[in-house]
Structure 1
């Protein structure tokens, strides 16, 4: 016996008497925008794509004003055969679709004793059931939007892990071409789902895979450090960097540090300022040389120093990865990618920053704006716009990131001293 989905309570709600209340769409919502919303959330209601699209088509056959009127409910009184013709479907298929929509609580079928429909008799397909659920469906739409955004961020994180892992494996192949551990890591990475398959994964499965990808990448980076150490090569966290002794320890090719409020918008040259110190400036060269799993900023300043300048929220993420002195570039990017959605920064803004600045500078930009937003009196109301402003200033050669770090460091010192 075939399984029958129970009808949604809204589908059996009585709207049959002329004295019934007529539900209306909330706020400024209109028929077409509501029908489009229903089509978006239909999968969560157990409604297939064909039935969801049919709902939209059926809704457009009603008067728009009926959806916002308190004295009538939108309905279609055409006979089933006429509705089938309008939808371009067979009568059995149309009947199956209307039953599917009724079970989901999106329409109510009212028919005469012989199955007829007519305006005079008050029979036909009525949409009051869906309208009565408008608030519920809007909340579901918001939830689905948030889940889609979360999935976009997680797919981006998987992309980061894959990119960093590939670079680490390439480096391992150079210094230890016959390393069995590296081969095992490479083979495991080859079993990862494709980028296309990620789109079909639910959030739970996607999150589990991203965690596995992060674990494998960190395993590869651990192995790389050991192999570099045994071969006498440089390690990211072991290379000499400027010690934290005076404020001059952060001085780059940029000159005077402006100590105005950190809450200024990104367009303010006094606060968001990147390397343009001339052809002999090491900062320019370091920006260009930054690799996919190495950071010139971390190499020069040290992970502890950068950790100390991060916001409390980012520090909490980083602390769960390693002690500050053992943090890697991968850890800072990982933490930045978690702060991006929490700050309300869109995936587009973050991706644009990475494409224009490179991953090193984009990570540092998020660290800086996040730290500034955490400062008392800060006025960064739209971090996404702030990051876009930083990206544009970088594009024009006007974003001095090290100077911004100096400002952060000086304000931290002044705060601790007060």
Structure 2
């Protein structure tokens, strides 16, 4: 909240006091704050740019000293020249800015401005609104992060649905249900159109996309069983006869044909794993084993039991543990990324390096270990980035971490 200090007596007169920016805030940081929220105050881009340039003409100390008031005294004609605007355009901008409460015009009877007369353009009013503007900025930031999360989940549904539809075409290309799903998928807005959608519309579309994806996975499982064919990557009946939950949702980008392939040579970039390394990792069962054989063997019920209570809450709302698919775990992991305030880039980097399957299991491990009695996780985002770096260096043993979680669950249940 803007603070006001009591002025000291000076030359037998009380000096006026003005609102100032809170401690730690300076003029330029406040200008950036106003720039971010201006469109949501009904101020157009051109008028907001004019405000920014006008505010930058003031002295920085005038925003933080209680006996000073940030202001611009230049005549309108001079300001118009300085801003490369016509006087009419400048008047229109300042009128809109005043209406939005971002500045105040004080003019003499003849319209002149001068420091001596105390006339000009003044910014005390907008400083006085600091708390409201800061709250609006926080609200917009939350909405922006929510939109990023929803677009990410839509992208996850897009990739998984594409894979499911490819397999459905192989099984029953003439089935009317498959064609209906193809048509519904084709009607989805393009990824670049998602940015123009309201938050409510985006949330509704994400729910529809999730519903269609799950319906396609269910139909695929039903049709595969009806023709007595195993699902792709289906577990052997010797291991588990429950429905397959590991339908591949590999890290592909919407609109692209091929999966993202890691590159070599930079520690912050995904590591290209050669076929030789791939085979060796498979043989050794190492932490970077390609494919998802070890995930398949775990099964959905085991992963569910190892998950945190928060993850289990979301997973339970989607299906019984034995009927969960890996798509449900990815959906839940992305929700926890948002709730744990993990930056979207950390999740994106993890998916690029480990694939969505690996990144999802990493999130499950991270989330379950947040309240570890011995070594709790203080910074989930930093921990996820550390896991990604360890994966790229070949040091991340997720199977070992899952075994550790399993042992911890056994100890807790024995108490």
TM-score normalised to structure 2 length: 0.84
Q: Structure 1 residues 278 and 237, CA, compared in 2 at 3 Å: closer, same or farther?
A: closer
Q: Structure 1 residues 170 and 118, CA, compared in 2 at 3 Å: closer, same or farther?
A: same
Give 1:374 shift: 3.4
Q: Distance in 2 between matches of 1:317 and 1:102?
A: 48
1:21-42 deviation per Cα after TM superposition (whole angstroms, max 9, x unaligned):
3111112211111111101110
Q: Distance in 2 between matches of 1:279 and 1:322?
A: 33
Q: 1:265 is matched with which residue?
A: none
Q: 1:359 is matched with which residue?
A: 356
1:85 and 2:91 equivalent? no
1:287-319 deviation per Cα after TM superposition (whole angstroms, max 9, x unaligned):
4234xxxxx454211111110000000000000
Pick the aligned partner of 1:221 from 207, 210, 217: 217
Q: Distance in 1 between matches of 2:26 and 2:223?
A: 64
Query: What secondary structure does 1:109 align onto?
Result: strand
Q: 2:291 is matched with which residue?
A: 289
Pick the aligned partner of 2:328 from 326, 331, 343: 331
Give 1:138 shift: 1.6
Moved beyond 6 Å, runs of 4+: none
Q: Distance in 2 between matches of 1:314 and 1:117?
A: 63
Query: CA contact under 8 A between 1:276 and 1:284: conserved in structure 2?
Result: no
1:156 and 2:152 equivalent? yes
1:385-414 deviation per Cα after TM superposition (whole angstroms, max 9, x unaligned):
111111111111111111111100011101
Q: 2:116 is matched with which residue?
A: 120
1:105 and 2:101 equivalent? yes
Q: Distance in 1 between matches of 2:289 and 2:166?
A: 21
Q: Structure 1 residues 189 and 302, CA, compared in 2 at 3 Å: closer, same or farther?
A: same
Q: Structure 1 residues 363 and 325, CA, compared in 2 at 3 Å: closer, same or farther?
A: same
Q: Distance in 2 between matches of 1:53 and 1:378?
A: 49
Query: What secondary structure does 1:397 align onto?
Result: coil
Q: Distance in 1 between matches of 2:403 and 2:116?
A: 78
Q: 2:174 is matched with which residue?
A: 178
Q: 1:22 is matched with which residue?
A: 18
Q: Structure 1 residues 145 and 241, CA, compared in 2 at 3 Å: closer, same or farther?
A: farther
Report matched runs for 1:8-407 at 5 Å: 20-235=16-231, 239-240=236-237, 242=239, 278-279=280-281, 281=283, 283=285, 287-290=289-292, 296-407=293-404
Query: CA contact under 8 A between 1:37 and 1:138: conserved in structure 2?
Result: yes
Give 1:348 shift: 0.3
Query: CA contact under 8 A between 1:38 and 1:137: conserved in structure 2?
Result: yes
Tell me which moved more, 69-78 or 228-237.
228-237
Tell me which moved more, 328-337 or 396-405.
396-405
Q: Distance in 1 between matches of 2:87 and 2:387?
A: 59
Cα RMSD for the two superposed structures: 2.2
Give 1:378 shift: 4.1
Query: CA contact under 8 A between 2:15 and 2:67: conserved in structure 1?
Result: no
Q: Distance in 1 between matches of 2:99 and 2:43?
A: 9
Higher RCO (CA 8 Å, separation ≥ 6 residues): 1
Query: CA contact under 8 A between 1:277 and 1:284: conserved in structure 2?
Result: no
Q: Structure 1 residues 184 and 322, CA, compared in 2 at 3 Å: closer, same or farther?
A: same
Residue ranges of structure 2 left out of the alignment (5+ in a row): 1-13, 241-276
Q: Structure 1 residues 323 and 184, CA, compared in 2 at 3 Å: closer, same or farther?
A: same
Q: Distance in 1 between matches of 2:281 and 2:294?
A: 19
Query: CA contact under 8 A between 1:303 and 1:326: conserved in structure 2?
Result: yes
Query: CA contact under 8 A between 1:318 and 1:335: conserved in structure 2?
Result: yes
Q: Distance in 1 between matches of 2:344 and 2:287?
A: 28
Q: 1:411 is matched with which residue?
A: 408
